[in-house]
Each structure stands twice: as structure tokens, then as C-alpha cells.
Amino acid sequence: MAFNIIVCAKQVMDPETPASAFNVDENARRVIPAQGIPPVVNGFDENAVEAALKIKESIDDTTVTVISTGTEFVMDVMKKPLSMGADNMVLVQDDACADLDAFSTVRILTKMIGRLGDFDLIICGQQASDWDNAHVPLGISEILGLPCLTEVRAIEIGDGTVTVNSSRSDGYEVFESPMPALITVNNEVGQPRYPTLRGIMQASRKTPEILSIEDVGLNSKDLTPVITLSDLFVPTSDKQCEILEGENDADSGRLLALRLREEKII
């Protein structure tokens, strides 16, 4: 029997972008993309792709479909999940998707999911490294009425059920739910695999399906924000680091410890 997994993935600014290259247009309340640093697929979303591919390896006839929404996709970047081994990709690419709040993103993604037909699992990264809202997957589960399993580090598929280990600070909790279900994963679910040469070749022959918001049954009025960005700024730090300098490195280490005691930090 066919097993269908939908993975939600987001194109984000590379979080490794050095702070010096990070700039904000305060008037437009927008982050200015760093010159020469291409975007990446959100880290946790790559973990989600990895989790889906592990299931695909263990269950015959599994299809992994990756979906996303945005204004301008860099295809070489967005096709990475396909190179890793995902089967299909559907993107809503539309100017109306500029500066969406998470609620509008949820509206679009749930409409896209509705178009895809039957599925068994939706797997998402637990949060995105740009706006860090960490609630798009939760919203999808609520709108679609799905069981919601969060911060998952291990997934096991049973007969019509899914069992997961959810990370907790002192261990993990095991949850079981019927399928279809929505799962958010963290980095402990497994390192995203590197695309193989064969994978890259296969992905190069695949064309993501590109849709507009009208194609999924929405118009720009449906994307009215429920929360509005009113200010965006780079925080200034007036922190001064006191550098301890001794006769040599070992001496500096000793001075550092003494200084911390003097300041009653230790």
C-alpha cells in the first residue's frame, strides 16, 4: 500500500552569515540579503527531509513530496531535498507571498496539502532560522485537525499508527498517535544526508511544480496578517569585554579566574 509523506521546507538566509554581513532596512522593516551568500534550506527542514527518507527506505512504495511557499526561489537551493532523494516538489511562488505572517503561510500550505490528496504523515522542521516563529507546523495540525507530535527525534511507523520520541531536557517522551499525523523534528532525528552524484543527476531532471496562490484557491485578501511587524532593528550591544592579559597564556588563565572571584561571579 502506498505511503505518502509531505515535508514542509523553507528557503532561508544562511544562518551562518556573519553578523558583519547582516543588515536591516529599518524603514522597510526588512532584512537585506547578504551579498554573495546564497540562501539555504532551513536546517530543521533538512532534518525533516532526512526523517522522511529514512521512512522511505523502510517502507516500500513511499512517496516523499516537499512543499514550500515564497516569492523567489533559488532552484539550485530548493532542489536539495530532491537531490537527497525526495520524489516530488510543489512550490507556491507568488509576489503576494512577500512578508507573509505565519498565519498566511499556514493558509497557503494547508491549501497545498489539500490539493495533494491522501497522505499519511506531514513532517516539518520545528522552527525556521529566520523568523523563528515555530508555529507554522502547529497551525497546520490545528487547521487540518491532525494529531500533533512535536520536537521529535525518532519515528517508528506501525500499522496505521506512528510512535515517536519527543525530546525533553532530561530524556524523551514516547507518544503514539493514529495516522495521518503531523510531526515536527529537531536536529537529533538525524544528520541530513549529503546528496549523491546520482541523486543530483536525478534531481536535475525533475521540475518542481510551481503554482500561484490562485492555483490553490486563495487570493491576496485571504492573506491578511493577524500579527504585524511594527519594528525591526539590529540590537546594539554596549557590552565591553575586559580582556585579562598575564605574562603568558597560562598566567592569563589564572588572572581570569581571580578576576571572576573578585567580581563575585564565582
Q: Of residues 177-216, which lie at the interface with other proteins (CB under 8 A)?
A: 177-178, 181, 186-188, 191
Which of 32, 29, 58, 46 minimizes the C-alpha distance to 189?
Answer: 46
Q: Site residues for other proteins, window 215-254 (CB under 8 A)?
A: 224-235, 237, 239-245, 248-254
CB-nearer residue toward other proteins: 168 or 198:
168
| Binding residue for other proteins, selected from 174, 194, 219, 220, defined by CB under 8 A | 174
Which of 135, 177, 173, 136 minimizes the C-alpha distance to 153?
Answer: 173
- 150 is an interface residue for other proteins by CB under 8 A: yes
Amino acid code (one letter) for 20: S
What does DSSP say about strands 121-125 and 181-185: parallel, antiparallel, or unpaired? parallel
Question: Least Å distance between CB 165 and other proteins?
Answer: 8
Q: Site residues for other proteins, window 57-96 (CB under 8 A)?
A: none
Question: Least Å distance between CB 70 and other proteins?
Answer: 16
Report the distance separating Cα 107 and Cα 7, nearest Å.
Answer: 16
Report the distance separating Cα 120 and Cα 62, nearest Å.
Answer: 10
| Binding residue for other proteins, selected from 33, 37, 93, 142, defined by CB under 8 A | 142
Report the distance separating Cα 205 and Cα 45, nearest Å.
Answer: 23
| Binding residue for other proteins, selected from 169, 197, 221, 247, defined by CB under 8 A | 169
- 263 is an interface residue for other proteins by CB under 8 A: yes
Q: Residues in the chain, how many?
A: 266
